[in-house]
């Protein structure tokens, strides 16, 4: 018997190309189109990194706001300056001039 006899076409070998094609199609479907595919894993990984960067940026903003709030609580001059600049507050007897641009 020949070493590669199973590769020769015969009446029993018509199924081999069909099985190879079906296997390749299923493998490609699992890799690229299935719900839990490799592409979905890559997309999820990229999205996760993006969201982690966004969370770090927002946490930095929160920390800065907390420092500003603490400064406003403890420093009367900074609180007064903040109130004047943000809300146009004035102390009794101050002359207020509003200049529109």
**Per-residue pLDDT tens for 20-60?**
889 999 888 887 777 777 788 889 999 999 999 999 999 99
Residue 12 belongs to what domain range? 8-87
Residue 68 has pLDDT above 90, yes or no: yes
Per the model's pLDDT, the better-predicted residue between 39 and 76 turns out to be 76
Residue 1 has pLDDT above 60, yes or no: no
* Token pair listed for 27: 């493998």
Sign of CA dihedral 35, 40, 41, 47: negative
Structural domains counted in the chain? 1
pTM over 0.75: no
Assigned domain for 73 exists = yes
Assigned domain for 75 exists = yes
Q: E strands within 1-101? A: none
């Amino acid at each position: 018997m020949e070493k590669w006899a199973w590769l020769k076409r015969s009446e029993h070998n018509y199924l081999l190309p069909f099985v190879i094609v079906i296997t390749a199609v299923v493998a490609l479907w699992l890799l690229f189109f299935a719900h839990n595919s490799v592409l979905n894993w890559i997309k999820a990984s990229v999205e996760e990194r993006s969201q982690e960067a966004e969370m770090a940026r927002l946490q930095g903003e929160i920390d800065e706001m907390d420092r500003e709030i603490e400064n406003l609580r403890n420093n009367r001059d900074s609180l007064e300056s903040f109130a004047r600049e943000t809300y146009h507050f004035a102390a009794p007897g101050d002359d207020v001039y509003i200049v529109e641009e």
